[in-house]
Structure formats: structure tokens, C-alpha cells
Amino acid sequence: MTSSNSLIFLVSCCFVLATAIKQLPLEQTHHYHTLQLTSILPSSVCSPSIPGNKRRGSLEVVHKHGPCSTLNTDTVKPLTVEEIFTHDQSRVDSIRSRLAINTGKKDTLGSKASIPAKSGSTVGSGNYIVTVGLGTPTKKLSLIFDTGSDLTWTQCQPCARQCYNQREPIFTPSTSTTYSNISCASTECSELVSATGNTPGCSTSTCVYGIQYGDQSFSVGFFGKEKLTLTPKDVVNGFYFGCGQNNQGLFGGAAGLLGLGRDTLSIVSQTANKYKKVFSYCLPSSSSSTGYLNFGSGGVARGVKYTPFSTSQGGSFYYLTLKAITVGGTKLSISPTVFQTSGLIIDSGTVITRLPPTAYSALSTAFRAQMKKYPLTKPLSILDTCYDLSKFTTITIPKVSVFWDGNTNVDIAPQGILLANGASQVCLAFAANGDDSDIAIFGNTQQKSLTVVYDVAGRKVGFGARGCT
């Protein structure tokens, strides 16, 4: 071989090789995730993330049942995956019944201290909590944060009827210099009708609220006003909230609930002047990490893409329009009318995304086709596409992306594609609704690690990649 020949050989050989090398991994990075199996398994150690979009003064978000939660120690025993799914299904069922009630008749809270029979929103169990300060002097309280409801409440002394076990001392309004009762005649008292779905009661001219959740959880008590300290720099004076005297349910040691819904009385509406109805959060990708909740647009990152709220539907929920889903780069063939028929809400309290059965079936079929090298195993409650990965340390899975109205595509993080019940049962973390007409729900598992921005005044929701770990 002459030197010029060998040069040609070398060049052509390496050109071919280089192209081959270049195409393969490029293809892989575009449409597949390669990851360590351990990165989707639960960890028992808290390792707080240093999120890119967290601004100073934002609230820390932790998973209620993870090692970063201080609620875990003694008051509550952690739920099994099956139990979490059972509660998740009752939340989904109650969202559905609330939508039916909103479009039809309204019912009322019979007598002020009774347990109403109607199903309301459900708190569920696979939820996230934030710690806020209430009163003067300020007392720390861990609240479940919920974009699916409006009223914020906490258990209050003297717990006239009952309080469940909570981690922190129960709030005592009589020792706070900034607490006051709300009168039955006030506008805010009447706004409880839409915020809770119940007509408020009246006790010696103090407004009495009652809210109940799908799984027999409820809170009933005095409607009050108090200083709310989100962060030392973010203080909301005269915040309307429920001071619960009769509380029961699956709140897992949390002191109550922070209502981030769309309706009047939600924290978003009450702080409209201050934060312009903008808030954002990132849910940590594992329960052993931390995320954040920000109010106002100050902390909103660049690179966030928005999708408009769909229709003019009111109420607590945030409705969005899903257009398509891709698996491993291939668009599923689902008629757009399928998503139009169901409608969709984004919800921080539903764990697993619920899709119309027609869409779920296309998703699981495509996912299975691209996961052929892994052995299938038995279903895990509502999840029917599960793999035994106990013999693997590294796995390659197809990317799953959702396409929203407004040309906004979002890659779901690996921890939002698979949910592990140990290495021997790792499942596609999506589920089917019972019927194509049931509302679809974009749940919190699929929101993990994304920056999610709610611009309620601008009627849009934004998504950004890598909000937190």
C-alpha cells in the first residue's frame, strides 16, 4: 500500500466509522435514556438538591414519605406502594365526582359539625409538603401542597371535637396576636361555598367552614385571618384560612393543607396583588431529594415553554390541552379527538397520570415494543406494564414526551416514566382511566424534576427541563 492509498484508506475507513459512531449514540441520546437502575430505586438517605431555578427565599418541597420529610419519624408509618395507589384512585374518583357536581347540582354541609357524605377533593397520600410560618410569634407548620383545592387550613387548638396526630405542635390561635375570626356576614365567608363546595355555618357570629375529601378525610372549624410567613421576606398579612376544630384523615402527620387552586380564597388569589398570580415549583425526582415552591415571577427560569389553559372552565382545577405523546421518538397514533373528549387537568396531588384508555393502550403497546429485552412481570395495582430488572444495573428505556397545545413539548424524566417497587418490579408509571370520557390527569410522578410555572393571570402553564434533581 502506498502512502497516499493508505491515507485514502484511513480517511475513508475512519469517516465510515466516525459516521457510524456518531449516528448511533446520537440516536440513543435523542430517543432513549440510559441510566443506573439505582437512580430510580428509593433511597433511605436525604440528599437535598441544589436546584438551578431555586431562588433565595423559596420554600422547600419534600415528599411526605421520603427521608427528607421530618413527618416520617414517629407519627406516621410509611405507606406501601399499593396503599398509595389505593388513595390515589380515591383522589381521582373524587376529582371526577367534583367535576360532575360542579356541572350539576351543589349540595351543602348539613349541620356545621357533622361529617358530610358527599365526596370532595381528596388529599391522597403520595403528596408533597412545604413548611410555612403562621401567626405572631410565628409557628412552623408543614402543609400538603395541593393545586387541586383552594382553602388553606390547619388544625387548631383547642381541637374542640378532634385533631389527628401531627408532627409539629398544633396551632393555637389564642396565643397569636395577629389572629382574628371572620364574621358570618363577610364576603370571604360566602366565598367558602365555591372554595369548599359547602355552605358555611355560623357559630356566635363566627364563620364556620367545612371541607371533606374523598377518602373520609375532613376538616371543620372556624374561618380565620392570620399572618402567613412563607419565607422571612415573603409575609402575607391577613391571610384567610381554616382553623380546624374537627379534623380527621390521611394527612400523614402534616398540619393541614395549602390550597394552590384557581378559585377565590386560594393562596394564589389571596396574594394576587403581591405575586400577580404566578407561582412555580419543582417536585424532586426522588423522595430522598428536595424541590421548591416559589411565589411570583422572580424565580422563573429562562427556557420555560408555555401552554395555555384550555377553555374557560372555572373552579379549582388547571385545565390544559394535550395534543400528542411520543415514545422513543415515535408519535403514537392517537386521534386528537381522544384528548379533546376527555379534557385534562394538571394536579400536584394525583400521583400517577391518568390517560383515556385508548391513549394508554397505544402508549403501553409502544413502550413494551421498545422494552422487549427486559422480562415482563406481574402488574402493580393500577400499573400493568412492569418489568423484573433485578438482573440489570444499567437500563436503556425509550424517552416519553408529551406535546401540549402551543407547540410545547416536554420530556418526562426517567423517574416519571418508571416507578419501582424494588428492582424486581419496575413499572411504566401511567394508568388508564375507566372510560375515554373520564378526565385525564397529568400527575405528580410525571412532573418530577420539571420546573412547572403557573401563570394564572396569563392563563398558561409553563414547563422547563431540569428544575431540580
Ligand X SMILES: *[C@@H]1O[C@H](CO)[C@@H](O)[C@H](O)[C@H]1NC(C)=O
Q: How many residues does the chain have?
A: 469
Binding mask 180-209 for ligand X (x = CB under 6 A): -x---------------------xx-x---
For every residue of 79-144, DSSP letters joined together read PPHHHHHHHHHHHHHHHHHHHHHHHS-----SSTTS---S------SS-EEEEEEETTTTEEEEEE
Q: Does 241 bind ligand X (CB under 6 A)?
A: no
- Helices H, strands E: what count in the chain? 9, 30
If phi > 0 it is left, if psi is from -120 to 50 it is alpha, else beta; for residue 135 that is: left
Q: Does 223 bind ligand X (CB under 6 A)?
A: no
Nearest residue (CB) to ligand X, 173 versus 356: 173
Site for ligand X in 369-398 (CB under 6 A): none
> What are the percentages of helix, strand and coil residues in the chain, rounded to 5?
25, 30, 45
Cα 268-89-433 angle, rounded to 5 deg: 95
Instruction: Tell me the torsion sign for CA atoms 384, 282, 61, 192.
Output: negative
Q: Of 88, 150, 347, 436, which one is the catalytic site residue?
A: 347
Stretch that binds ligand X, among 119-127, 174-182, 209-217, 418-426 (CB under 6 A): 174-182
For every residue of 336-397, DSSP letters joined together read HHHHHHH-EEE-SS-SSEEE-HHHHHHHHHHHHHHTTTS-EE--BTTB--EE--TT-SEEEE
Query: What amino acid occupies position 204?
Result: T
Nearest residue (CB) to ligand X, 126 versus 135: 135
What is the total count of residues that contact ligand X (CB under 6 A)?
Answer: 8
Q: CB within 8 A of 164, min separation 6: which ones?
A: 155, 247, 248, 249, 251
In whole angstroms, how close is the CB of 109 to ligand X at the nearest point? 17
Number of Cβ atoms within 10 Å of the Cβ of 276: 16
Stretch that binds ligand X, among 91-99, 171-179, 387-395, 409-417 (CB under 6 A): 171-179
In whole angstroms, how close is the CB of 193 to ligand X at the nearest point? 20
Contact 59, 317 (CB under 8 A): no
In whole angstroms, how close is the CB of 248 to ligand X at the nearest point? 20
Nearest residue (CB) to ligand X, 222 versus 454: 222
In whole angstroms, how close is the CB of 135 to ligand X at the nearest point? 11
Q: State the greatest distance between any 2 C-alpha atoms of the chain, in Å, as a whole number.
A: 105
CA 309 to chain centre: 17
Q: Is 107 a catalytic residue?
A: no
In whole angstroms, how close is the CB of 213 to ligand X at the nearest point? 24
Select from 173, 291, 356, 398 the one that contacts ligand X (CB under 6 A): 173
Q: Does 222 bind ligand X (CB under 6 A)?
A: yes
Site for ligand X in 39-68 (CB under 6 A): none
Select from 145, 179, 241, 339 the one that contacts ligand X (CB under 6 A): 179
Nearest residue (CB) to ligand X, 199 versus 401: 199
Nearest residue (CB) to ligand X, 156 versus 428: 156
Nearest residue (CB) to ligand X, 97 versus 203: 203
* Selection from 342, 334, 337 nearest residue 359 by Cα: 334
Q: Is 150 a catalytic residue?
A: no
In whole angstroms, how close is the CB of 199 to ligand X at the nearest point? 18
Nearest residue (CB) to ligand X, 135 versus 356: 135
Q: Which residues are catalytic?
A: 146, 347
Binding site for ligand X (CB under 6 A): 173-174, 179, 181, 203-204, 206, 222
